[in-house]
Amino acid sequence: MDIEPADQFGNNRSCQRAGSSQGAPDRVNKVCFDWQAGRCNRHSCRFLHSELPQPMSTDGATSRRGHHQGLVRGNSGAAGAPISGWGKGRTGRKASDKICRYFIGGNCCYGDKCRFLHSWFIGDSFSLLATLQGHRNVVTGIALSSESDKLYSGSKDESVRVWDSQTGQCTGVFNVGGEVGCMISEGAWIFIGVPNAVKAWNTQTATYQNLDGPIGQVYALVVGNDMLFAGTQDAHILAWKFNVAGNCFEPAASLNGHRLAVVSLVVGDMRLYSGSMDHTIKVWDLATLQCLQTLTDHTSVVMSLLCWDQFLLSSSLDRTIKVWAATESGNLEVKYIHNEEHNCCMP
């Protein structure tokens, strides 16, 4: 088979894979296309697993013409040079800011030698952009609308403030008539949990609705299966469904089973998970709204819940974070426990 000519950096992958032709060297002086994509699994690959050196100019300096800036995190560099998972490249070069999709899938075969990022973050550190000041009491909820460039914050000072995400300036203050217990955004809607009600605010039409039904403070809100769920102080979980024809929210169900206030809610894989001051987590079927399982491993208030991949994570005032996974029977069991020195709460 003929080998087609490649460009200067060997990006053409139409090469003879079975072996070298007669008289050709054992290793082709071309960069492996699959290695560049982070998926080459040939242990005796006949193409290079590193960047080609840059051509030298007439004065002996390295020419930068034609250099591929995006392909810099390869196997080249000083031996033993550290690899940072926070986006810092070797030998001072700029690393590719693309996250390895095989790392995301959990099956990258290159490990630390992969030229793409094995991290969910880019950068070496976090930096403070701005301090938004104006609330006179504890901030209990933050929502960033996908339909605008505004940030919304709620507080126990009974107000919701609107902030310009570009300038950090407060553009509006609204009194909601009670301490804000939680806030979430869904499309153009901002939902605000207050004592004895949920405020539904449409940011596009600048109108709001008052959803009655809760008794006491609303501590948690979540949207799932086209329904809005609210965890309340009286141990209930109330659900509303949006009526398109009437352009309003209508009561859909009340989920009962907890003995104390419901303070955390999360939705994942057609399940609703609720954490309570009664130290338990309940698993609800979103289709039938029936309780499938009650988890009792925590010994204090379950402050927050998070669905990640096939796992459920829960944090509690018992100073533990527990990782739950489903068994063959479908029930959740604790697979890992992380202990903290202080009370912990996940976002």
Q: Name all domains of the chain by residue range, CATH numbers in brackets.
A: 1-68 (no CATH), 147-339 (2.130.10.10)
More confident: 65 or 275: 275
Q: d(Cα 42, Cα 28) in Å, to the nearest integer?
A: 14
**Using only C-alpha atoms, what is the Rg of the chain?**
27
**What is the distance of C-alpha 123 from the center of its chain?**
17
Lowest mean pLDDT among 62-71, 153-162, 234-243: 62-71
Quote the DSSP letter at residue 117. Answer: B
Q: d(Cα 272, Cα 227) in Å, to the nearest integer?
A: 11
Residues 284 and 274 sit within 8 Å (Cβ to Cβ): yes
So what's the pLDDT on residue 281? 98
**Degrees, nearest 5: CA angle 35-124-39:** 15
Report, as an integer, the average pLDDT of 113-124. 76
So what's the pLDDT on residue 271? 96
Q: d(Cα 191, Cα 228) in Å, to the nearest integer?
A: 9
pLDDT band at 292 (very low <50, low <70, confident <90, very high): very high
More confident: 346 or 119: 119
Three-class HEC string of 184-210: EEECCEEEEEECCEEEEEECCCCEEEE
307 token code pair: 């669905």
So what's the pLDDT on residue 120? 67
pLDDT band at 212 (very low <50, low <70, confident <90, very high): very high
Lowest mean pLDDT among 85-99, 156-170, 269-283: 85-99
Nearest by Cα to 324 from 292, 297, 291: 297
So what's the pLDDT on residue 181? 97
So what's the pLDDT on residue 31? 76
With a pLDDT cut of 90, the percent of the chain lying above it is 51
Provide DSSP, 17-60.
-S-PPTT--SS-SSB-HHHHTT----TT-SSBSSPPPPPBPTTS
Report, as an integer, the average pLDDT of 36-42. 71
Beta-ladder partners of 279: none
Nearest by Cα to 183 from 223, 221, 149: 221
So what's the pLDDT on residue 146? 78
Element (H, E) at 104: helix 101-104
pLDDT band at 51 (very low <50, low <70, confident <90, very high): low
Report, as an integer, the average pLDDT of 164-186. 94
So what's the pLDDT on residue 11? 41
Q: d(Cα 219, Cα 179) in Å, to the nearest integer?
A: 10
Report, as an integer, the average pLDDT of 182-203. 95
pLDDT digits (tens, 9 = 90+) for 72-92: 223 333 333 333 332 333 333
So what's the pLDDT on residue 21? 38
pLDDT band at 297 (very low <50, low <70, confident <90, very high): very high
So what's the pLDDT on residue 28? 61
pLDDT band at 46 (very low <50, low <70, confident <90, very high): confident
So what's the pLDDT on residue 40? 76
More confident: 213 or 15: 213
Q: Is the pLDDT of residue 22 over 90?
A: no
Nearest by Cα to 267 from 219, 327, 308: 308
Q: d(Cα 276, Cα 265) in Å, to the nearest integer?
A: 9
pLDDT digits (tens, 9 = 90+) for 218-253: 999 999 999 999 999 999 999 999 998 888 899 999
Q: d(Cα 14, Cα 17) in Å, to the nearest integer?
A: 9
Q: Is the pLDDT of residue 182 over 70?
A: yes
More confident: 244 or 6: 244
So what's the pLDDT on residue 206? 86
Q: What is the mean pLDDT of the chain?
A: 79
pLDDT digits (tens, 9 = 90+) for 305-328: 999 988 999 999 999 999 999 999
Residues 180 and 160 sit within 8 Å (Cβ to Cβ): yes
